[in-house]
Amino acid sequence: MVKYTLHYFNLKGRGEIIRLVLTAAGVDFEDHRVEREEWPKLKPTMPAGQMPVLEIDGKKYCQSIGIARYLAREYGLAGKSSLDQLLIDQVVATVDDLLTEMIKPVFEPDETRKAEMFKKLKEETIPRVMGILQNFLDGNGGTYFVGSQLSLADIYFMDIVSRLFDKQGDVLKDHPSLAANLKSTQSLPKIADYLAKRPKTDL
């Protein structure tokens, strides 16, 4: 039996997708939530000096999306063909671009610039990306992003867009099929149980 240990800070950030894929697959893993004061000692032991890192049977691997793709392939969440994987990657990359834009203003020190960045995110970036994702979903029938079952695409969409939804409840008001997809993934028993129990964090 494979032993997984995820090393990441006590926040969702870029590590949550790994937790969610393992959870959706019903795979046990150790969720090592690293405290800030613990990190300086741990950093030199990590492959690229950063986290998240997934330890598989004692060997450490980095890069969250690469890890998530690997786990999706291992546990039947990567579609049924190479074309399915391309379509999944299309969604994942779009969502990941959105996450990058969501993170930028959080770390902007200038308050005026921060406000401008949040305004652009809310009024321009989010509506544009939701339109793209809506087209991807509707192009596949409106239930799942790829194929006829849950995949990494649905899980990553839920991971990132639920963070927006929690802060801006109307973010999907013009995109009912996206809202339905989000709710459907959140309602899966294993994921729903995890979401109810996970630590509450801002990021």
The predicted-structure confidence for 43-68, as pLDDT tens digits, reads as follows 999 999 999 999 999 999 999 999 99
Q: Is the pLDDT of residue 150 over 90?
A: yes
Contacts of 178 (CB under 8 A, 6+ apart): 130, 133, 134, 137, 157, 161, 172
4-75+191-197 and 82-188 have identical folds: no
**What is the structure's pLDDT at 75?**
98
Q: So what's the architecture of 4-75+191-197 in CATH? A: 3-Layer(aba) Sandwich (3.40)
Q: What percent of the chain has pLDDT over 90?
A: 96
**7 DSSP β-pair partners:** 32, 53
Residue ranges per structural domain of the chain? 4-75+191-197, 82-188
Q: So what's the architecture of 82-188 in CATH? A: Up-down Bundle (1.20)
Per-residue burial over 65-81, b = 16 or more CB atoms within 10 Å of its CB, e = otherwise? bebbbbbbeeeebbbee
